[in-house]
Structure 1
Amino acid sequence: MTDSSSSNLIDPSIFEYLKAHGEEELEVGEKLHHITSALNRHISTCQGFLSRIHSTPSSKLPPLLKQVENDGIKPEIDSVGELARFASNYPYYKWSRSIQNVVGTILLTGWLGGLETESRPGELGRLLTIEEVGQLLKVPVNLKDRDAFHITIEEYILALTDITEELSRLAMNSVTMGDIDLTVRISGFIKDLFAGFQLLNLKNDIVRKRVDAVKYHVKKVEDVIYDLSLRNLIPKHEAASS
């Protein structure tokens, strides 16, 4: 026979608490899903515009970059702002991949000569710092004093590896478009970037593997430069410096 008094050993308020907070967590998750879904749509749009760089000569990039900024990056900034305001209240949720993609679109657009800032004019080959990315997105970077939404060093480095892959592809397509100078510039940039990565003490396995993969992009572009130099399409001193 069951002792009816045993049911009194469990405080009913325990389940009331679980019910209330479980429902709250579902609501938060749904809201974050809604925000990040919109953000991911803007990222896809921005990446779609940027994909056109592979068939657009560098001399004709400015109008395309303006479209990227107005119709791609500005909506991204708005969505990141909404995410930052909401997510800072719930720092245990993760959205790193989406933010990495946003940072990647900004870094690539900046490198191509878009996204002028007050301190730096738009110019081909410019690498935006993590602080400049934070200023553009209007969010803090690398926070250490509080747990709130921010751009992390890891997200910035991973975004750099993303644009290295994209630029290595652009280097080859630039040859097809007859833009040898751009190929040479890309070669020098990704080699310098990879050299910079070697100075970092990378303890995160994912980041280390992604950085290690950059050497394959460097090699791919070096092969293009070597082939161009054999065909005397670039001066030998430029081939050596790239």
Structure 2
Amino acid sequence: MSDNRVITSIFEEFQKNLDQEQELRETIRSTCKEIDQLSREVLTVLQVIHNNEPAIPQACQKARDIFEKVRDGYSKLKEAVPDHEYYKYQDHWRFMTQRLCFLISLTIWLEKGILVTHETVAEVLGVSAVEQRLGFHLDIEDYLVGLLQMCSEVSRLAVNSVTRGDYSTPQQISKFVMELNAGFRLLNLKNDHLRKRFDALKYDVKKIEEVVYDLSIRGLLPASGNADAASMSTE
């Protein structure tokens, strides 16, 4: 009987831990679902960039308003996830965070035409930019995947800009993506997912180059733009 009581006690403790674990995962899943819905709202808001250029500033402001709610969501995640256990639960928010990195980087590029830093994205999300053993942080890989996703979106923007008679935006996109591509080539990427995502960047670059070159041969670019397109064609 004594041994049975000991075994029962041990397994009752196991069940208690399993219940607590399940409860925590449900809390994390629920919070991530709320944040993910907000990210989809931002994605919908920013789709206006492809067909209504005058509305872009208002779309960016609306996106920033939603990012404030996203920040509150990440604050809940930080409170829920125990210290030292970030990577144990990371799969719950990994892809959602990558999408948000893409949306934040796109918003800031639309506003200022610059590459957002890892630190700035972390600040918008309200998390630490430093990978650390304690506390919630923005993983560098998630940030980089977000940038690659942004490249796909702006390559689409380059094409749609031409259809509405905007010939300067493709030039701006071309310069930006080429510089970003050069930056990624400095990295020795060994992670399979990130490496495959980077490999897709060459197709985005090619699409943008074709748009700019087509504008050039049609005489729709200023002299500097023609020179840049000619340079691309010889590479």
Q: Which runs of 5+ in 2 are unaligned?
A: 230-235
1:68 and 2:56 correspond: no
Offset of residue 66 of structure 1: 1.2
Structure 2 residue corresponding to 1:49, chosen from 45, 50, 55: 45
Find the aligned partners of 2:123 and 2:40 in 1 and give their Cα distance. Answer: 22
Are residues 239 and 207 of structure 1, via their aligned partners in 2, closer, same or farther at CA, if it must alter by over 3 Å? farther
Find the aligned partners of 2:140 and 2:8 in 1 and give their Cα distance. Answer: 45
DSSP-derived class of the 2:89 partner: coil
Native 8 Å contact 1:171 1:186 kept in 2 = yes
Q: Which runs of 5+ in 1 are unaligned?
A: 114-122
Give me the TM-score of the superposition, normalised by structure 2: 0.89
Aligned to 2:168: 181
Native 8 Å contact 1:130 1:156 kept in 2 = yes
Find the aligned partners of 1:177 and 1:78 in 2 and give their Cα distance. Answer: 38
Native 8 Å contact 2:43 2:103 kept in 1 = yes
Structure 2 residue corresponding to 1:207, chosen from 179, 188, 194: 194
Aligned to 1:106: 104
Find the aligned partners of 2:14 and 2:63 in 1 and give their Cα distance. Answer: 46
Task: Answer 1 or 2: which has greater helix percent.
Answer: 2
Give me the TM-score of the superposition, normalised by structure 1: 0.87
DSSP-derived class of the 1:36 partner: helix
DSSP-derived class of the 1:112 partner: helix
1:133 and 2:121 correspond: yes
Find the aligned partners of 1:229 and 1:191 in 2 and give their Cα distance. Answer: 17
Aligned to 2:74: 80
AA at the equivalent of 2:22: L
1:166 and 2:164 correspond: no
Aligned to 1:17: 13
AA at the equivalent of 1:74: E
Are residues 8 and 62 of structure 1, via their aligned partners in 2, closer, same or farther at CA, if it must alter by over 3 Å? closer
Deviations 1:35-60 (A, max 9, x none): 00101110110110011111122x44
1:227 and 2:221 correspond: no
Q: Mean Cα displacement is larger for which, 73-82 or 178-187?
A: 73-82
Native 8 Å contact 1:81 1:138 kept in 2 = yes
Q: Mean Cα displacement is larger for which, 73-82 or 219-228?
A: 73-82
Offset of residue 79 of structure 1: 1.1
Find the aligned partners of 2:33 and 2:192 in 1 and give their Cα distance. Answer: 27
Find the aligned partners of 2:219 and 2:97 in 1 and give their Cα distance. Answer: 42
Q: Identity of counterpart residues, as a percentage? A: 36
Are residues 177 and 36 of structure 1, via their aligned partners in 2, closer, same or farther at CA, if it must alter by over 3 Å? same
Find the aligned partners of 1:39 and 1:60 in 2 and give their Cα distance. Answer: 25
Find the aligned partners of 2:226 and 2:114 in 1 and give their Cα distance. Answer: 21
Q: How many residue pairs align between the two structures?
A: 225
CA RMSD of aligned residues (A): 1.9
Find the aligned partners of 1:83 and 1:239 in 2 and give their Cα distance. Answer: 50
DSSP-derived class of the 1:20 partner: helix
Offset of residue 147 of structure 1: 3.5
DSSP-derived class of the 1:180 partner: coil
